Chain A
C-alpha cells in the first residue's frame, strides 16, 4: 500500500476518532521531517504524517499525567501498542481513556526493525504483514565464544558517549530515579561508562519490559547494536516464563512475581 493511500485512510480514521476524543496524537509534517502533534477537533489534517517512526506511547504517558481525564486517540504501530500495553500494566497509562488507531508497518519496515509483530492488534489502517520470527543477530551472537563476545561488546561499549539517548527514547523507561544516574552503579565522570555497568544494568532492566521497538538503537549516535542482547533476553523470558512484553495487559512482569505467579502490591 503506498503512502498516499495510507495517509488518506489515516486521515479518515483520525477524523472519526476526533468525534469522540478530546485529541488525537499523531505525526505532523514539519520542516521536511515529522513531529508528534495533538490534533483536535476541527484541525486541518492535511499535514498528517506517518513517517518516520516515533515512540508515541511515551507521549501518551506524558499527556495522561498532565490531563488524567482526557480521552485520547493515538496513531500507533505494533511497537507503540506493545509499549502502551506494557505501560498500562505498570500503571503508567490508563488505556480506558485511550483509543488506539492501529497502523501497520510495511514488509520492508518489518525487516529493517527485525520486528516480530509489525502490526498492532487494533489495526485500522494498512495491511498486516508477517514479522521476523527471531532476530537473526541472536544466532550470530551465540556462534561466538565467550572470549569473542567479551571482545565484541567491550569494543562496542567503548564507543558509548553516555548521552542517555537510549534511555531517553525508550518508551518503557519511566522511573523518576534512574539507576543509570546513580554514582554507586555507574561512576560519573568516566567515559565510556565502565563495562560491565551502564549497558548491563540497562539490559537487565529490559528483561520482561523491552517491547523490541529498536528506538534505542536508532537513537544511538555511536551505532551500538543495543537490542541484540535485549532480543536474546526477550527470547529467554518467553522460554522461562512464557512471557512476552507488550503482549497482554493481563500478563504481569515475571521478575516481579513470586514463583507461583502472584504479586503483593
Chain B
C-alpha cells in the first residue's frame, strides 16, 4: 500500500481548546508550514473525544484521525486527558484487531507554546497516512 501517487489523504484532527488548538494558532501566526490535509475540530478537552466519535469520523471518510491535547499534568480539567491517554491506545488496538491499521489513529500532546512541535506532528502523521493510503470502509 506504499504506492500512493500523490494521494492527498483526508485527516481530521480533534484539538483541545486550551493547548493544541492554541498551538495550531501559534503555528499559523508564526507562519510555520505544515500539510493542509488536516481539518481541525476544536474540542474543549481531548477527553471529550469518545471512541464513537473517532469511529464515526472514519466511517464518514477520514483516512486518519489525530487527537491532540494538553500534556499530562497540564489539562485544563486536571485529569481529562488522563482518560484520553488510556482510551486512545485501547481504541488503536481495537482498530488493529478489526483490520484498520492502528497508525490511522494517533494521540499526541502539544501545548499552546508548541506551534513548531504541532506542525512537526501533523506533518509526520500526514506522511504516514499517505503511505497507508485511502481507507476503504465500504
Q: Are A229 and B98 in contact, with the CB atoms below 8 A?
A: yes
B90-A149 in contact (CB<8A): no
Q: Are B59 and A194 closer than 8 Å at their CB atoms? A: yes
- Interface contact A204-B94, CB-CB below 8 Å: yes
Decide if B6 is an interface residue (CB 8 Å cutoff). Answer: no
The B39-66 residues at the A interface (CB cut-off 8 A) are 51-52, 55-56, 58-59
Q: Which residues of A contact B134 (CB under 8 A)?
A: none
B2 within 8 A of A: no
- Residue B72 is within 8 A (CB to CB) of chain A in the complex: yes
Chain B residues within 8 Å of A240, by CB: 86, 89-90
Chain A residues within 8 Å of B83, by CB: 255-256, 258
Does B113 have its Cβ within 8 Å of any Cβ on chain A? no
> Interface majority SS on B: helix, strand, loop or mixed?
helix
For residue A254, give the distance in angstroms from its CB to the closest CB of chain B.
6
Q: Is the CB of A229 within 8 A of B97?
A: yes
Contact B87 A255 (CB under 8 A): yes
Interface size in chain A (residues, C-beta < 8 A): 41
Give, as a whole number of angstroms, the nearest-CB distance from B54 to chain A: 9
- B71 within 8 Å of A (CB atoms): no
Q: Is B79 an interface residue (CB 8 A)?
A: yes
Interface residues of A: mostly helix, strand, loop or mixed?
A: helix
A258 touches B79 (CB 8 A): yes
Count of residues in B whose CB is under 8 Å from the partner chain: 26
Residues in A with CB closer than 8 Å to B87 are: 255
Q: A197-B56, A240-B89 are in contact. Are A233 and B98 (CB under 8 A)?
A: no
Interface residues of A in 218-260 (CB under 8 A from B): 228-229, 232-233, 236-237, 240-241, 254-260
Indicate whether B82 reaches chain A with its CB closer than 8 angstroms: yes
- Cβ contact of A146, chosen from B56, B58, B101, cutoff 8 A: B101
- Given A196-B58, A197-B55, decide whether A233 and B90 contact each other with a Cβ distance below 8 A: yes
- For B95, list chain A residues within 8 Å (CB): 196, 200
Please tell me if A152 contacts chain B, counting CB pairs below 8 Å: yes
The answer for the CA separation of A241 and B86 in the assembled complex, in Å, is 9
Q: A254-B86, A259-B85 are in contact. Are A232 and B97 (CB under 8 A)?
A: yes
Given the known interface contacts A194-B59, A200-B94, the answer about A258 and B82 at a Cβ–Cβ threshold of 8 Å is yes
Determine the residue in chain B with the shortest Cβ distance to A145. B99
Write out, one digit per residue, whether chain B residues 99-113 have a CB within 8 A of any chain A CB (1) or not (0).
Answer: 111000000000000
A232 engages B86 (CB within 8 Å): no
Most interface-central of A236, A240, A259 (chain B CB within 10 A): A259
By a CB distance below 8 angstroms, the chain B residues around A237 are: 90
A-B contact pairs, 17 of them (CB 8 A): A141-B97, A150-B99, A150-B100, A153-B98, A153-B99, A196-B98, A197-B56, A200-B98, A203-B98, A204-B52, A204-B91, A204-B94, A236-B93, A240-B89, A258-B82, A260-B82, A264-B79
Return the 5 tightest CB-CB contacts between A and B, nearest first. A150-B99, A149-B99, A204-B51, A258-B82, A258-B79
Given contacts A146-B96, A195-B137, 17 further A-B contacts (CB under 8 A): A149-B98, A149-B99, A150-B98, A150-B100, A151-B99, A153-B98, A154-B99, A197-B55, A200-B98, A201-B51, A204-B51, A204-B91, A233-B90, A233-B97, A255-B86, A255-B87, A257-B82
